[in-house]
Amino acid sequence: MRYFILLLFLFLNLISFAQGEKIITSPKIRTVITEADACFSQGNKNCELLYHKAILLGRQSKEKYMDFLYYKLSQYHFNNYQQDSSLVYIDLGLKSSTNFESEASLLNLKAGIFYNRGDIDAALEIFILLADKLKEKQDWQKLAYTYTNIGNLFDSQENDQKSLEYLIKSFDILQKIKDTTYIATTVGNIAEGYFSIKKYDQAAKWSHKALKIKDYSRDYRGKIIAYNTLSKIYLKTYPDSSLIYSKKAVALSQAKNERLMLGNSYVAYAEALMERKKFPEAQEAIEKAVEIHREIDFQPGLADNLFIAGIISRENKMYEKAASFLYESKKLSDSLKSKQRIKTINELNTKYETEQKEKLLAEQKLTIEREQNQKRLILIVGVISVLTVLSILFLYRKNQKIKQEKTIQEKENEVLSAFINGEERERSRISQELHDGVASMIGVAKMNMETLPHLPEEKQKDQILKVVQILENTHADIRHIAHNLLPITLEKEGLIKATEQFAKEISETGILKIIVTNDSKEELTLSIQKQLMLFRMIQELINNTIKHSQAQIATIHFSQTNNTLLIEISDDGVGFIGEITKESQGLYSIQQRMSSILGRFSFQQGEDNKGVKAILELTKLH
């Protein structure tokens, strides 16, 4: 079997939770999930934002079944072979899991990722645990699917007998409950199992049985496996038939856009072509298989494919390429085998360490008498050494204290400078607004009043109305400036409400869409001065986003745990690479201002290297 037997239905209806749109209470979220699924089913590659939108809506509405929303996003990444991203959202889903159904779905997906990465023991541990729980619940359908996955994993460890045992268990249950949904795949896997133990008659029998199962609409994978198995069975005896079956496997895999199985089918096709001495065509096929398995990070299959590619390259007299393939195959194969040997090595190490300890104890008994005679001398030398070390330590601490005081002074100067620069920028802004707005408008009003005596009586009233309008506008500008000095919303309703109003004002301009979310269950207990400082920092970070990031959407997320407030500002722009230095004035000023209130400011690259996430973290809330 080896890499031909795959976890083909890891995420396909294994757990009924996968149909969980019905459990979502919000119609709006259900609509977004439906749109996202439709987007993915149409082959679009930019569906991730829709799943993120559903999660944001879920947070805002405090959706009970957030685990389902995380499951959908992790499933999307899994289907796109983005395994690291999938693992992140699987773990988030497990933290918010509401029942066994959701936990089982997420663990099932996680096991699939471990399998693809070659960590068979971790995947087996998850599936065996699931099987025990499903057997207790007498959920026979899911138990049968899980038995198939366990059989596939034993196969990847080359434990053919165990693999067949679990696959046949799965087939017996599926027959008993009359479930034909994935029975063709299970039958195909059994055929591969018999091929692995060289029972070719049984392998051919079960392969043809898989091809005769009528419902291929959902379980076409069984048919692909059967074609590949028959191709290998007839490789030496009927090479023409082998070539026909492998071509059918490639065609069906391409039609169903099954990347993993397409790579496996290209391997069977390459071997059939090689048997027919069609080495150039075989070279093209095996390199396609290698490319696909590299792309989806399928290491168990890649190691064998590289070996076959090396053999075919050698037949094509491409010796340099052959050497490269064979070297990489050996390196990867050794890496995978080492994982299986870890337990044995650990046991040997434990045994060796025990023997070493016993030997060490024996040696220690022999040296005790010698050590007693040397103790007096060591004690004298030790006292002298301690006095010397203490003297050196005293001098060292004294120097360190001087350096520390100097560093603290420099830090205080930097913080003071950051405050002064911040205040200076604020004064400059207010001065500019007063000069360009209020002062000029008052000047215009003054000029209009001065011309009043020189106007005809019938135009004086209109002139007075113009002056009144100018003064009303000036009054509004002054109120706006005062609002910026200390927003009324912040003073009356606090930081979060002020941030929501600020985000709404920016979003209404159409420059940048800002979404504010809040996971804090308790009211902030910060002083108004600290809230104002945090509000100014949020404004400055959003202004940086507008100026530099080319972003379309930004998110401001508040969360509070115990005695810590966390504010995360992220966007989907071009990102920011570098460190916060004195030259980056705005970011450096924010860092110093956060430090002055016992907080911390940091930033990191966004997911998939898109955008940037700035983090304001404040402890000791009071």
**Overall residue count recorded for the chain in this entry:** 622
Rg (CA), the chain: 35
Homologous superfamily (CATH) for 1-158: Tetratricopeptide repeat domain (1.25.40.10)
Whether the predicted pLDDT of 298 surpasses 50: yes
pLDDT of residue 580: 64
| Mean pLDDT of the region 23-30 | 83
Going by pLDDT thresholds of 50, 70 and 90, the confidence category of residue 3 is very low
pLDDT of residue 616: 92
Residue 612 pairs with which residues in a beta bridge?
A: 605
- pLDDT tens for 509-567 read 888 999 999 987 777 778 888 888 899 899 889 988 888 888 899 999 999 887 889 99
- Winning range, highest mean pLDDT, from 96-100, 215-219, 243-247, 599-603: 243-247
Q: Which helix (H) or strand (E) covers residue 560, if one does?
A: strand 553-561
550: left (phi over 0), alpha (psi -120 to 50) or beta: left
Q: In terms of C-beta density within 10 A (0-12 exposed, 13-18 middle, 19 or more buried), how is residue 143 classed?
A: buried
pLDDT of residue 179: 82
Strands 553-561 and 564-571: antiparallel
Q: How far apart are CA 209 and CA 176, in angstroms?
A: 17
Q: Which of 421, 424, 401 is nearest to 588 (CA)?
A: 421
pLDDT of residue 546: 87
Q: Which of 340-349, 356-365, 449-458 has the lowest mean pLDDT?
A: 340-349
Q: Which of 58-67, 295-304, 440-449 has the lowest mean pLDDT?
A: 440-449
DSSP 548: I
What distance lies between CA 50 and its chain's CA centroid? Answer: 16
Q: At residue 105, what is the residue type?
A: S
Contact in structure between 68 and 17 (CB atoms under 8 Å): yes
Contact in structure between 275 and 236 (CB atoms under 8 Å): yes
pLDDT of residue 273: 92
Whether the predicted pLDDT of 431 surpasses 50: yes
Contact in structure between 535 and 495 (CB atoms under 8 Å): yes
| Residues in CB range of 595: below 8 A, 6 or more apart | 411, 415, 601
Residue 557 pairs with which residues in a beta bridge?
A: 517, 568
Contact in structure between 594 and 586 (CB atoms under 8 Å): no
Going by pLDDT thresholds of 50, 70 and 90, the confidence category of residue 41 is confident
Q: How many CB atoms lie within 10 A of CB 291?
A: 12
pLDDT of residue 420: 53
pLDDT of residue 426: 63
Sequence spans of domains, the chain: 1-158, 489-619
**The domain 489-619: what is its CATH number?**
3.30.565.10
Contact in structure between 43 and 259 (CB atoms under 8 Å): no
Whether the predicted pLDDT of 21 surpasses 70: no
Q: How far apart are CA 19 and CA 67, in angstroms?
A: 13
Contact in structure between 50 and 35 (CB atoms under 8 Å): yes
Q: How far apart are CA 543 and CA 67, in angstroms?
A: 34
Residue 361 pairs with which residues in a beta bridge?
A: none
Whether the predicted pLDDT of 607 surpasses 80: no
Q: At residue 358, what is the residue type?
A: E
Q: Which of 59-63, 391-395, 448-452 has the lowest mean pLDDT?
A: 448-452
pLDDT of residue 352: 41
Show the CA angle centred on residue 171, arms to residues 168 and 173, nearest 5°: 110
